[in-house]
């Protein structure tokens, strides 16, 4: 996603996506222990960091991101490709832009929103994302929300001369353009979910990240 926060400042959230090689062992272990379901979505799939692990837990998987992230050629699984081309012939994995997903007439058993909210520099946009996710879950469905609330690299970076405070994080102006890094506390994440119509079922903390399961009320 891209966010214009000033005439000369555009946040390109796709630049924050990490590859499979930087997947969290804690999250991979969590995914490996999940029961199998019929349908799942991964909202903000990025560079497919957890797609393989998630796909093993479901019959069908929808992956969602901005059209820029889905269509651009980038390094994915060691070679140049686009996400849309990788899954062009897939029967189990469907690819949707955020706009396409919102119009989709389908409900899912399980969802994932992994390190997405913390790269969104506007509270209103975060609320919109939560609303979309809530509407796309079936009654009794669940979604895992993951955000960072502590990061030693962020602590160092926010003291740099090219950093300035923004929302619950900071902006960095670099050669690649501006980036936003938010740190969302466990309490703030749970409060945001409850205001969006979710019931928080379980929250775990691990190495500076919050893992929160929630279901629509």
What is the overall mean pLDDT for the chain?
93
What pLDDT digit, counting tens, does each position of 154-189 carry? 778 778 888 889 999 988 888 778 889 899 999 999
Task: Give the Cα separation of 24 and 54 in Å (integer).
Answer: 13
Do 137 and 146 meet the contact criterion of CB atoms below 8 Å apart? no
pLDDT of residue 40: 98
Q: With pLDDT > 90 as the criterion, what percentage of the chain qualifies? A: 74
What pLDDT digit, counting tens, does each position of 51-94 carry? 999 999 999 999 999 999 999 999 888 889 999 999 999 999 99
pLDDT of residue 216: 97
Give the angle 148-77-153 at the CA atoms, nearest 5°.
25
């Amino acid at each position: 996603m891209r966010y214009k926060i000033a005439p000369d400042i555009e946040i390109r959230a796709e630049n924050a996506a990490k590859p499979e090689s930087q997947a969290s062992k804690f999250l991979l272990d969590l995914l490996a222990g999940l029961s199998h379901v019929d349908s799942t979505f991964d909202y903000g799939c990025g560079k497919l960091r957890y797609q393989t692990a998630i796909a093993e837990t479901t019959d069908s998987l929808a992956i969602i991101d901005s059209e820029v992230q889905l269509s651009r050629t980038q390094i994915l699984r060691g070679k140049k490709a686009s996400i849309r081309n990788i899954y062009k012939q897939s029967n189990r994995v469907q690819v949707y832009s955020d706009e396409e997903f919102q119009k989709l007439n389908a409900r899912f058993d399980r969802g994932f929103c992994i390190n997405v909210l913390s790269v969104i520099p506007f509270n209103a946009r975060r609320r919109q994302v939560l609303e979309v996710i809530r509407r796309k879950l079936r009654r009794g469905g669940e979604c895992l929300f993951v955000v960072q609330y502590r990061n030693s690299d962020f602590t160092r970076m926010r003291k740099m001369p090219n950093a300035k405070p923004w929302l619950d994080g900071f902006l960095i102006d670099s050669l690649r353009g501006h980036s936003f890094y938010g740190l969302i506390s466990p309490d703030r994440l749970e409060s945001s979910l409850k205001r969006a119509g979710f019931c928080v079922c379980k929250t775990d903390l691990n190495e500076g990240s919050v893992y929160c399961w929630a279901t629509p009320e």
